[in-house]
Amino acid sequence: MITFENTTVLNLIFAPTAELLHSEIVHANRTFLLGLLFSGITLSAVYVAQNFNTIAILSELRYRNLFEASQDAIFIINLQGEYQDVNPAATEMVGYSLLELQEMLVDDLRIPSAEVSPEVRSRMWREGGMQELSLRHKDGHPIPVDLVVSPIREGEVQKYVLGIVRDISERKRAEKELQKYRDHLEELVEIRTVELEAVNAELKDFAYVVSHDLKAPLRAITQLGSWIATDYAEALDADGRELVDLLIGRTRRMHGLIQGILQYSRIGRVVEKKRSVNLNQLVQETLEMLAPPASIQITVTNELPTVVGERARLRQVFQNLLDNALKFMDKPQGWVRIGCADAGDYWLFSVADNGPGIAAKYYAKIFQIFQTLVPRDEFESTGIGLALVKKIVELNEGKVWVESTVGAGSTFYFTLPKQEEER
């Protein structure tokens, strides 16, 4: 009779499932499951297979009892593919009795798979390994299983193959449900994306059409107000003139707002060819157009690069940032500094001033359309300028942000990718 020096290792082979696994194995991560499930079993099977005679192992009552009690299906097969012995868990899994199985071959249970060639299977029988496959139940339905195979040798001669099998039907059902859920989510996301794109397109068209159609009557109202102020100047008292001036101011503000909406809606709709733009020249042209007062010193701190982009949009970015710095300047001697730094794949631009500054809680708000931090009666502001800057920069795959200290000034940063002009 053979005795066993390492009975602990053998116990692992036949240990009940509850002792071998934790409840986390129900997760559908196959790699984790297989590693946790069969790492101990595989090592144990190899140890047994290479050092002991299987028939002798099972002849010992203790190991026969463990073999019979194992919740994993265990098959012992000879090299001709015939079943020598199986435990009750195996007969329960496949629906055949031990006597029926002993009249069958391995291929009678295995459902052929294109993923496993005869060569791979033969190598597994000789060397051992792990595999996922399907067995055919007696009633015909497939059983997905994980299989650990180990050769059993007497000395240097292989006699049998030991197969330890676990039913993974529940895991497969969970994986199928998970995939179904993922597919459903992807479908919903795709549908929602199409809907949002359609809504956005409609909103852009609506904003453009409405804004365009409103410009004509607003021009008429502004013109009418100007005529009243001129032709009836002597007939109007101070209150009347103030009301007419208020009317003209409000219509001009509305005209500016509509113009801003039109500009905002055009971004991304009307695209001009991207070309090389000399930013030194562009910034100089912008400053000449803005005509800053003598009390504010404008400085370009270093040479600006030539970038690839839509010239009109890039001018709009610098114009809006500089216009904000000039418009909100609260110091008797102000300054605005324009700079640029090389940031690898991007150019990092900055427009700094010593104006009133912005509280940190408003950093996000100022880039939202129609948002202003001061009453519109104090400053003619539509709340569109910085929203335009953000949209243009992001459409050019850049980012824009602000850093500021209340009372000391603000620095607006934005990035533009380095690109070559399309030929």
- The pLDDT tens digits of the residues spanning 307-363 come to 998 888 899 899 999 998 998 898 999 999 999 999 999 999 999 999 999 999 989
The pair of structure tokens assigned to 184 is 């459903």
Q: Which of 300, 308, 254 is nearest to 276 (CA)?
A: 308
The three-state (H, E, C) secondary structure of 178-206, written as one string:
HHHHHHHHHHHHHHHHHHHHHHHHHHHHH
Greater pLDDT, 10 or 277: 277
- Residues 319 and 51: their CA atoms lie apart, in Å, by 84
Task: Specify the residue for token string 């895991």.
Answer: 171
- Residue 17: the pLDDT is 37
Distance in angstroms (rounded) separating the CA atoms of residues 216 and 22: 75
Predicted pLDDT of residue 322: 94
- 102-159 pLDDT, tens digit per residue, is 999 988 998 887 666 777 778 888 888 888 889 999 999 999 999 999 898 888 888 8
For 260-288, give the DSSP string: HHHHHHHTTTS-PPPEEEEHHHHHHHHHH
Least confident of 37-46, 160-169, 243-252, 394-403: 37-46
Say how many Å lie between the first and final Cα of the chain, rounded: 86
Residue 34: pLDDT band with limits 50, 70, 90 = very low
pLDDT band at 240 (very low <50, low <70, confident <90, very high): confident
What is the DSSP annotation of 100-127?
A: HHHTSBHHHHBPP-TTS-HHHHHHHHHH
pLDDT in tens, 381-407: 667 889 889 999 998 899 999 999 999
Residue 261 tokens read as: 């909406």
Give the pLDDT confidence score for residue 37 in this predicted structure: 43
Cα dist from 189 to 151, 175, 182, 185, 186, whole Å: 50, 21, 10, 6, 5
SS3 422: coil
Tokens of 255: 């005209």
Give the lowest-confidence range in 149-153, 161-165, 264-268, 405-409: 264-268
Q: For 94-104, write each residue's pLDDT tens digit.
A: 999 999 999 99
Q: What's the pTM value of the predicted model, to 2 decimals?
A: 0.49
Mean pLDDT of 227-251: 81
Least confident of 28-37, 61-70, 249-258, 412-421: 28-37
- Give percent of the chain above pLDDT 70: 74
d(CA 381, CA 375): 9
Predicted pLDDT of residue 369: 77
Specify the pairing of strand 346-353 against strand 400-405: unpaired
What are 284-306's pLDDT values in tens digits? 999 998 888 999 999 999 999 99
How far apart (Å, rounded) are the C-alpha atoms in residues 351 and 318? 8
Backbone angles phi, psi at 380, to 5 degrees: -75, 95
Q: Residue 336: its pLDDT value, please?
A: 96
Which among 315, 316, 318, 325 is positioned nearest to 293, based on CA atoms?
Answer: 325
pLDDT of residue 123: 85
Average pLDDT over residues 196-207: 72
92, pLDDT greater than 90: yes
pLDDT band at 414 (very low <50, low <70, confident <90, very high): very high
State the average pLDDT for the chain. Answer: 79
